[in-house]
Amino acid sequence: MNESGLHIKIAALLNLTVRDVTATVNLLDEGGTIPFISRYRKEMTGSLDEVQIMQIRDEIERLRQLEQRRETILKSIESQNKLSEELREQILAAETLSKLEDLYLPYKPRRRTKATIAKEKGLEPLAHFILEQKNNAVQEEAEKFISLEKEVPDAGEALQGARDIIAEIVSEDAIVRETMRELFKKTATIKSRLIKGKEEAGEKFEDYFEWEEKLMTCPSHRILAMRRGEKEDILILDISVDPAEAITLIERKMITGRGAAADQVKEAIAEGYKRLLQPGIEAEMRVLTKQQADEKAITVFADNLRELLLASPLGQKTILALDPGFRSGCKVVVLNKEGKLLEDTVIYPHEPQRKVTESEMVILAYCQRHAIEAIAIGNGTASRETEQFIRNIDVLPKSIPVIVVSEAGASVYSASDVAREEFPNKDVTVRGAVSIGRRLADPLAELVKIDAKSIGVGQYQHDVDQTHLKNKLDEVVGSCVNAVGVELNTASKELLSYVSGIGPVLAQNIVQYRNEHGAFISRKHLLEVPRMGEKVYEQCAGFLKVRNGKHPLDKSSVHPESYHIVEKMAGDLKCGIDELMEQKDLRKKITLTNYVTETVGLPTLKDIMTELEKPGHDPRKSFEIFSFDEHVHEIKDLREGMRLPGIVTNVTNFGAFVDVGVHQDGLVHISQLADEFVDDPNKIVKVGQQVWVNVTEVDAKRKRIALSMKGETQQIKVSKPKVVVEAEQYDPNDITSALNALKNKFKK
């Protein structure tokens, strides 16, 4: 099928116009990225969004691979001089890879089988004689093939060889295989059972020691759990259908007569089903259900990651961040508004040292000296105790918010090459505290430095196809980074590498150029960066912002290729671009249709107007302060019936995990997410969402907490305080006087 034919197929499948599909495929083939195409080529694609463009990309890749395989198969069969016109037509009409492979199976080069051995003995004519079922003189015909030279000593051996050939013919029949696939999809069950003697080792798989359910309705998390149990040699897994029903369906296709010949065919069908067809189709179903389970699990992970990356940023604030600990102390760092590390130390407010006074002094001194605007505390060990310690500092201004921040992945970052390069003279604990503070200020900018799989917002992420998972998560990170936009003069190379068209090497070049030549004063200066060609510049420029750039539009998402449009608008109104961006009344005078051209349409013009109104607007939600229940710190503090605030930390197919501040997330099962039926937890909750939950069950020994959201509002809203603190030096040699001086200062 030619390329235009593929475009027609995709358009029909996705309910799109052929024109839009063709334009999108051409842009992708030319090296266009999905964020760039969806944002800046709306006229060409009919304003398709990222999801639609991804679907087109995936479909064109699938269809092209199918066409390549079709061509290979045709050449292979033709080289064997076995390509009939009827077979050619069947191969050309095949629309799925499985159908193509079924047609190719009888002609596929293979290892020696029972059937090939029988053919070597010259028994193929006997097999076809029996399969025709027109003559029942089977015994007499079989005796004609007796040959000691060919190791066929009697008629029974000849008939067995013929049945081996028939069994293979039946198992390779395209219609039979498709019939079996449909039977498995409709009726197959998946069964798991415990391997004897593995009760203790397999305790975590206890639910699956004796389990059975319909294969195609088995949720992805159960498929992956059972497969993990099988991989760890804890469970035995079987996928099967009723063999009698399967054999009956095959007989309806293959049995055309009665008598001895038909009986031989029936025997061959039974042998072939058990030895060849059933194992083959079961293997296919294993692959199919694994792929489906992977896809669902990866989608869950990707959805959760998107919510986490697009979590509300606190913004450019001076932050005091603490990585809590007991014996080893709490690591304390101060970060300026740009996230630069200013100071770090360790305090010991908890057991066994309990240096509470000294620790209070350090916290107050840092708050004074650096005009701290927010305090971030990691949610790991000693988190709630550290939070309580901070809140108990009676003179600490209540206007400084104290916020518990997820540590997920912070330890991975702190031991990474990225962290070592950034802080070569600091240990992992300091780096971890820096990461905690930065992810409060801007989650996206900090989390891109961490391998997405390490953030832990999925289900069975280590069991799914790792290449597919990485590609999907990278795609999500790129989508989020480009949706928010990147400040060119402050972005890390990790953040820059996800900008449309850039990648790691060019990101490093940009940072190096910035370090050597100072801040970029305009987007145009990007073209001076080594390896920054015109094509890459076209892809990335609109997503890179220069806050105080030479051109007023450099701080917006208006692409440089469209600057001339805004310049013309301003010229027509006899005003400057700055005035146009600042004055709504001026923008109201613009008639967009006056600026429509062959290449620029209303979609782009409307986007430009939106950017003029809010240049560089951050699409993420405003930050909302959250606090756990101050009376709950450990799992032993929980009681059934308690109503608590919490943060959703993970969403899976079977429910949502919620942090209520006891170092162990509770599970809101899908049946407890709402008063009505819920088929998809993502429709009710998102990672990072603030919710109210009711405690329904506590199992402290197994560290399991059951929660419910039935009858609850799902969002907690708290006003955001403003912070103003004066800086002052302190004398670290006189703890008591310094603390008293600081307290007096705060009281004033």
Q: Are 57 and 30 in contact (CB under 8 A)?
A: no
Q: Is the dihedral of CA 533, 537, 539, 540 positive or negative?
A: positive
* CA-angle at 680, arms to 679 and 685, nearest 5°: 130
Cα dihedral 341, 343, 349, 351, rounded to 10, equals: 70
pLDDT at 89 over 80: yes
Could you report the per-residue pLDDT of 370-414, keeping only the tens digit for each? 999 999 999 999 999 999 999 999 899 889 999 999 988 888 888
First to last CA, the chain: 81
Q: In the structure encoding, which two tokens stand for residue 38, read together?
A: 């969806």
The whole-number average pLDDT for the span 49-72 is: 96
pLDDT reading at 729 higher than 80 = no
The reported pLDDT for the residue numbered 721 is 37
Neighbours of 524 (CB within 10 A): 16
pLDDT at residue number 649: 92
pLDDT band at 725 (very low <50, low <70, confident <90, very high): very low
Question: What does the pLDDT look like over 2-56, one tens digit per residue?
Answer: 899 999 999 999 999 999 999 999 999 999 999 999 999 999 999 999 999 999 9
Distance CA 174, CA 308 (A): 47
Structure-token pair, residue 341:
């590390």
Is the pLDDT reported for residue 742 higher than 90? no
pLDDT of 720 > 70? The answer is no
DSSP-assigned letters across all residues of 252-301:
HHH--S-SHHHHHHHHHHHHHIIIIIHHHHHHHHHHHHHHHHHHHHHHHH
Q: Is-contact 41 67, C-beta < 8 A? A: no
Query: Which backbone phi and psi does 589 adopt, to 5 degrees?
Result: -80, -10
**pLDDT computed for residue 747 by the predictor:** 58
Confidence of residue 732 (pLDDT cuts 50, 70, 90): very low
Note the pLDDT tens digit of each residue in 292-307. Answer: 999 999 999 999 999 9
Provide the pLDDT for residue 612. 94
pLDDT surpasses 80 at 622: yes
pLDDT of residue 459: 76
| pLDDT confidence band for 716 (50 / 70 / 90) | very low
* Per-residue pLDDT, 452: 84
How far apart are the C-alpha atoms of 136 and 144, rounded to whole Å?
A: 15
Average pLDDT over residues 553-578: 95
- What integer pLDDT is reported at residue 454 of this predicted model? 81
Task: Cite the DSSP H helix spans in 80-173.
Answer: 85-93, 97-104, 114-120, 124-132, 138-143, 155-171
Q: What is the pLDDT of residue 165?
A: 96
- Give φ, ψ of 189 to 5 degrees: -115, 150
pLDDT in tens, 512-555: 999 999 999 999 999 999 999 999 999 999 999 998 889 999 99
Say if residue 157's pLDDT is above 90: yes
What is the 8-class DSSP label of residue 720? P
Kind plus residue range of the DSSP H or E element containing 467: helix 466-484
Give the per-residue pLDDT at 456.
73
Contacts of 511 (CB under 8 A, 6+ apart): 492, 493, 496
Is 733's pLDDT higher than 90? no
| Bond from prior residue into 349 cis (ω within 30 degrees of 0) | no
- One-letter amino acid at 503 equals G
| The two three-digit tokens of residue 176, written as one number | 């039979």
Environment class of residue 683 by beta-carbon count within 10 Å: exposed (0-12), middle (13-18) or buried (19+)? exposed
- Predicted pLDDT of residue 548: 86
Q: What is the largest CA-CA distance in the chain?
A: 115
* Predicted pLDDT at 233: 95
Looking at residue 271, its pLDDT comes to: 95
pLDDT band of 159, cuts 50, 70, 90: very high
Residue 719's pLDDT is 38
Look at residue 26 in the predicted model and tell me its pLDDT. Answer: 97
* Mean confidence (pLDDT) of the chain: 92
Residue ranges of domains in the chain, CATH in brackets:
3-107 (1.10.10.650), 114-303 (1.10.3500.10), 319-457 (3.30.420.140), 635-708 (2.40.50.140)
Picking from 400, 408, 458, the residue whose alpha carbon sits closest to that of residue 436 is 408
pLDDT band at 734 (very low <50, low <70, confident <90, very high): low
Whether 717 has a pLDDT exceeding 60, the answer reads: no
In tens, the pLDDT along 326-359 reads 999 999 999 999 999 999 999 999 999 999 999 9
